[in-house]
Structure formats: structure tokens, C-alpha cells
């Protein structure tokens, strides 16, 4: 039974011992795990750490800016911000299969990351936010014992390719402990309490082909939905909430005009580990208000539906 303050000190010392005067590179995603790793390592080894943030273009509204502001401006961490949005969109052009999207995003991410690592002169170590559940279920934490439902990517394969050793300060921790450590390290509550966000991002929240326009439409709807959730004080009661843009057009009326636009599905679930989940029981009032705002404020959407599928048999994401 140890406290997070102790863990922090022990881990800082352990990282210093492991790294010596070597150089460490860390991929920052904006998620809780990599954020905690970055701040912990920065405390331990300062400027021996370089973080690389790859903007895939599959992030939510304002997210890239938030990451840069927090880590570069607030923490003074050496941060390389790579705007790879066009590259990812080009690679995904015409791709509709969910697993194919994941593979392309994973491979492209590794290419970009490797390039950047070389540009900053390489590193001796790669830092990763591997958690204890990832260590014990190294194949896939989503599938049942023998089936992989969805493949997840991380920067696997990179350490060998680039001859780097791994630094994994969170590998003994569960998610709630990582959050506690984040608070201990002074990370803002808004960062520490964030809902999980999948590596492939919005690419798996637009069934079918991804385009820049579709991403923009989805980002606007998602922003309004999360705004409403925060305003209603429900954010912390929910494991994950997000909008999905369905590439299906339906007919509606706007004013006295006929409209023919996409459908937006809203999803929110409760869960303790993502393995099983129940749909969140919003009030109809909340759903009605949110739907009205999305339809009024987002061009390209004229119908909103709420997903009441639990997991199993559904999965949390739509792809
Ligand atoms: P599913 O949709 O399988 O999601 O019920 C369970 C949890 O995993 C996240 N998820 C992913 N995370 N890469 C990730 O890093 C992925 O490809 C991926 N697919 C799903 C999902 O957001 C949920 O938290």
C-alpha cells in the first residue's frame, strides 16, 4: 500500500538510473497515459527528453493546440509538433475497411515518428505509456480470449528498428492509478479526467471513406455534444462519449427548404475497463436539446440518433 507521492519519487529515481545521460524520445498523443509519462520523465531527466506529437488530422476540435500549449508553453518540455494531417488524409483516401484504416494509420504514424526521431538526432530510449493491463494482455485487450475484434496500434516494432531501449514508467499501474499520479504531478484536472480516445481517432468514427469535409462536420458535432455533457455536469459519470458521422444522407426540412444531409449518431457509455459497457441513460430533454443544437449549428447534418447498444453485443466504437 504505497502512496502516489512515493511512487513518483521512486519512479523518478528509477528512470534516472536507467537512462543515465542518454536521450529519450516520447510520443505524445494528448491522452492521459502519454501525458503522465511526459511530465514524469521531464521531472526526472529534463532536457534529455524530447516529445513528438504527431497531428494525424484525426483529432477532435482544438486538441492539437491544447497539447502544444500545455506541454511546450506551460511545462517547457522539448516538443516537436508534426502536422501530418495531409499525409494521413492522402493515405486514407478511398479506404473504407475499419481494420485497413487502423493499419494505415498505425504504419503511417510509425513512419512519421521515426523520421522525426531521426531529425532530432535519434535517441537511446523510447518512452511509452504502457499500463499493467497492456502488459498482461499483450495481444489485444479488446478481443475475447482467442479472437481479435479490433487491432490496436502503438509504436510497436519501432524500438528494435531504431535500436532503442524502452522506458515504461507506468507498467505497474492501472488507469485509475495513472490518473492519481497525473494529479500528483500537477496535470490539470481536465487532462487527467479525460475520456479515453482511440489511437486512430475520428477515422474510426466515420464509417466509410474519410474526407476533410466529413472530419470537419464530425468535429463540430462532437464539440457541441461534449459541451452539452459538460454543461449538464455529466462528463465524469461517463466512460466515453462521442459523435459518429454516418455517411448516409436523409431528407429533412430546414425552414421551408428540403434538406438532404448526413446522419449523426451520438454514443455514450459507462464502463470500468472498456471490456463491457452499458449505454448511458440520458434524459430525453438532454438528448432533444443536444440534437437541436447539432442540427441548427452544424451544416451537413440534418438528423441525430442516439445509440442504445451495450457491449456486448455492440462495441464501444462503431468500427
Ligand atoms: P471497442 O470499440 O473495441 O473499444 O469496444 C474499447 C476501447 O478501446 C478503444 N479503441 C481503441 N483504442 N486503438 C486504440 O488505441 C484502436 O484502434 C481502438 N479501437 C477501440 C475504444 O475507444 C474504447 O475505449
d(CA 11, CA 20): 14
Dihedral sign, Cα of residue 241, residue 245, residue 246, residue 251: positive
Per-residue pLDDT, 144: 42
Q: Could you read off the pLDDT of 22-78 as tens digits, one per residue?
A: 999 999 998 999 999 999 999 999 999 999 999 999 999 999 999 999 999 999 999
List of residues 6+ apart from 138 with CB closer than 8 A: none
Whole-angstrom CA distances from 185 to 7, 67, 107, 254 are 11, 16, 32, 50
Q: H helices within the chain, ranges in order?
A: 4-19, 32-45, 63-68, 85-92, 98-119, 132-136, 158-161, 175-184, 189-192, 212-231, 284-297
d(CA 269, CA 316): 7
Q: What is the mean pLDDT of residues 256-265?
A: 97
Per-residue pLDDT, 137: 59
Report which of residues 236 and 160 the model is more confident about.
236
Q: Under a CB-based contact definition with an 8 Å cutoff, are residues 276 and 314 in contact?
A: no
Q: Which helix (H) or strand (E) holds 263?
A: strand 257-270
Residue 254 has pLDDT above 80, yes or no: yes
Q: Which of 31, 207, 274, 307 to mutate to test the pocket of ligand 1 (most atoms within 8 A of CB)?
A: 274
Per-residue pLDDT, 150: 77
Whether 307 has a binding-site annotation, put simply, is: no
**Band (136; pLDDT cuts 50, 70, 90):** confident
Which of 27-36, 137-146, 262-271 has the least mean pLDDT?
137-146
Judge if the beta carbon of residue 307 lies within 6 A of ligand 1.
no
- Which atom from ligand 1 is nearest to the alpha carbon of 315? 5
- Which atom from ligand 1 is nearest to the alpha carbon of 154? 15
Residue nearest to atom 7 of ligand 1 (CA): 274
Whether 34 has a binding-site annotation, put simply, is: yes
- Which atom from ligand 1 is nearest to the alpha carbon of 239? 24
Per-residue pLDDT, 151: 75
Q: Could you read off the pLDDT of 283-311 as tens digits, one per residue?
A: 999 999 999 999 999 999 999 999 999 99
For residue 239, how far is its CA from the centre of ligand 1 (angstroms)? Answer: 12
For residue 91, how far is its CA from the centre of ligand 1 (angstroms)? Answer: 21
**Band (142; pLDDT cuts 50, 70, 90):** very low
Q: Which of 133, 150, 155 to mutate to test the pocket of ligand 1 (most atoms within 8 A of CB)?
A: 150
Query: What's the whole-model pTM score?
Result: 0.92
Residue nearest to atom 17 of ligand 1 (CA): 152
Report which of residues 151 and 230 the model is more confident about.
230
Catalogue all structural domains in the chain, each as residue range(s) with its CATH number: 4-192 (3.40.50.620), 206-306 (3.30.300.10)
Judge if the beta carbon of residue 200 lies within 6 A of ligand 1.
yes
Residue 148 has pLDDT above 70, yes or no: no
List of residues 6+ apart from 5 with CB closer than 8 A: 184
ipTM of the complex: 0.99
Q: Under a CB-based contact definition with an 8 Å cutoff, are residues 170 and 310 in contact?
A: no
For residue 204, how far is its CA from the centre of ligand 1 (angstroms)? Answer: 9
Q: Which of 144, 198, 269, 311 to mutate to test the pocket of ligand 1 (most atoms within 8 A of CB)?
A: 198
- Which atom from ligand 1 is nearest to the alpha carbon of 151? 17
**Band (143; pLDDT cuts 50, 70, 90):** very low
For residue 164, how far is its CA from the centre of ligand 1 (angstroms)? Answer: 27
- Which atom from ligand 1 is nearest to the alpha carbon of 271? 24
Judge if the beta carbon of residue 27 lies within 6 A of ligand 1.
no
Amino acid at each position: 500500500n504505497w502512496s502516489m507521492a512515493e511512487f513518483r519519487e521512486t519512479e523518478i529515481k528509477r528512470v534516472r538510473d536507467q537512462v543515465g545521460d542518454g536521450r529519450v524520445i516520447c510520443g505524445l498523443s494528448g491522452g492521459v497515459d502519454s501525458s503522465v509519462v511526459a511530465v514524469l520523465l521531464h521531472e526526472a531527466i529534463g532536457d534529455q527528453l524530447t516529445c513528438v506529437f504527431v497531428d494525424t488530422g484525426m483529432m477532435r476540435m482544438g486538441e492539437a493546440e491544447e497539447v502544444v500549449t500545455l506541454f511546450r508553453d506551460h511545462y517547457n518540455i522539448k516538443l516537436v509538433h508534426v502536422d501530418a494531417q495531409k499525409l494521413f488524409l492522402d493515405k486514407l483516401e478511398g479506404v473504407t475497411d475499419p481494420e485497413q484504416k487502423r493499419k494505415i494509420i498505425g504504419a503511417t504514424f510509425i513512419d512519421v515518428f521515426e523520421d522525426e526521431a531521426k531529425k532530432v538526432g535519434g535517441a537511446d530510449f523510447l518512452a511509452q505509456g504502457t499500463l499493467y493491463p497492456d502488459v498482461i494482455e499483450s495481444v489485444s485487450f479488446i478481443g475475447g480470449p482467442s479472437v481479435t475484434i479490433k487491432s490496436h496500434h502503438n509504436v510497436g516494432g519501432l524500438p528494435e528498428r531504431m535500436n532503442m531501449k524502452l522506458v515504461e514508467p507506468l507498467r505497474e499501474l492501472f488507469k485509475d492509478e495513472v490518473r492519481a499520479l497525473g494529479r500528483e504531478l500537477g496535470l490539470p484536472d481536465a487532462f487527467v479526467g479525460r475520456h479515453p480516445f482511440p489511437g486512430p481517432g475520428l477515422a474510426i468514427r466515420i464509417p466509410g471513406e474519410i474526407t476533410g469535409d466529413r472530419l470537419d462536420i464530425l468535429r463540430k458535432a462532437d464539440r457541441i455534444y461534449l459541451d452539452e455533457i459538460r454543461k449538464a455536469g455529466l462528463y465524469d459519470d461517463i466512460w466515453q462519449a462521442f459523435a459518429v458521422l454516418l455517411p448516409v444522407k436523409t431528407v429533412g426540412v430546414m425552414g421551408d427548404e428540403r434538406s438532404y444531409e448526413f446522419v449523426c449518431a451520438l454514443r455514450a457509455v459507462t464502463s470500468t475497463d472498456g471490456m463491457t459497457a452499458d449505454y448511458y441513460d440520458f434524459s430525453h430533454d438532454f438528448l432533444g436539446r443536444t440534437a437541436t443544437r447539432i442540427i441548427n449549428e452544424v451544416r451537413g447534418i440534418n438528423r441525430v440518433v442516439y445509440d442504445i447498444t451495450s457491449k456486448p453485443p455492440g462495441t464501444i466504437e462503431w468500427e
